[in-house]
Amino acid sequence: MAKEKGGFWVGFAAAVFYPVTALLARRRNEGGERIPKTGGALLVMNHVSHLDPVYDAVFTHKQGRVPHFLAKHSLWNVPFVGTVIKGAKQIPVYRGTTDAQQSLRAAHEALEKGLVVVIYPEGTITKDPDGWPMTCRTGVARLALEHDVPVLPAARWGTREIYDHYRKKFRPFPRKTIVTKVGPPVDLSAFRGKPETLPLLREVTDVIMGEVKELLADVRQETAPEGFYSGKKS
């Protein structure tokens, strides 16, 4: 089946990202066929490096779909970068402003249009020293519950070996290996139709991210920690 058409800027980004990502890392992917070839889908991923969106965009594009990321609205003001992400129809996130709900509305509209939305519920790269997911925002639960689309958990590992933001380390060589694994859709039938209270949204968020964490544990061949990193000392 032909790839979903994304327009000039998606093609431009692909022309840049494909060779750059291949130069920096080998890829090992599993479960990409779970991303539907048509129709809406919510791809929920962990976040460990600022390189994640580049590799996740290439991964999704290789499945024949155009990814639509939720990203900080401030990026729209960056010269040229703003032009590319606007042209590629990415979704601005307005945090800490009166427009905070607008980002979710745009994501809702994208899912209604049958697009693939990629979300990092942590909201930023994890602060967990070992790279496990942090406590997440509940917007992912709202999106998941209000749309009849597959909610696909996915884990990716290896990008932090190239660029570790918190340790200020950029190590492009030797060439790394980045692994991405997509799990089966999360079954949320037990939660649908219930009032969207904060406790329910928190539970749904943790269920979804629990699946992401288990996929990450499988990719890393390690045992995942209990719960999610909060940064708070006990």
Residue 225 covered by a domain: no
For residues 91 and 143, give the distance between their C-alpha atoms in angstroms, rounded to a whole number.
14
Condensed to tens digits (0 to 9), the pLDDT of residues 125-168 reads: 999 999 999 999 999 999 999 999 999 999 999 999 999 999 99
Residue 214 covered by a domain: yes
Residue 216 covered by a domain: yes
Look at residue 231 and tell me whether its pLDDT is greater than 90: no
Could you tell me the pTM of the whole model?
0.94
Look at residue 81 and tell me whether its pLDDT is greater than 60: yes
* Among candidate residues 155, 136, 139, the one with its CA nearest the CA of residue 212: 155
Look at residue 77 and tell me whether its pLDDT is greater than 90: no
Residue 34 covered by a domain: no
Question: Which residue segment(s) compose the domain that 197 sits in?
Answer: 47-220
The per-residue pLDDT for 103 is: 66
Q: Is 56 helix (H, G, I), strand (E, B) or coil?
A: helix
Residue 230 covered by a domain: no
The per-residue pLDDT for 99 is: 55
Look at residue 234 and tell me whether its pLDDT is greater than 90: no
Residue 177 covered by a domain: yes
User: What percent of the chain clears pLDDT 90, i.e. is strictly above it?
Assistant: 81
91, β-bridge pairs:
70
Residue 24 covered by a domain: no
Q: What is the DSSP letter of 114?
A: T
101 versus 180: which is more confidently predicted?
A: 180
User: Structural domain tally of the chain?
Assistant: 1
Residue 38 covered by a domain: no
CATH number at residue 121: 3.40.1130.10
* Among candidate residues 67, 189, 63, the one with its CA nearest the CA of residue 119: 67
* Among candidate residues 86, 69, 68, the one with its CA nearest the CA of residue 77: 86
For residues 229 and 206, give the distance between their C-alpha atoms in angstroms, rounded to a whole number.
12
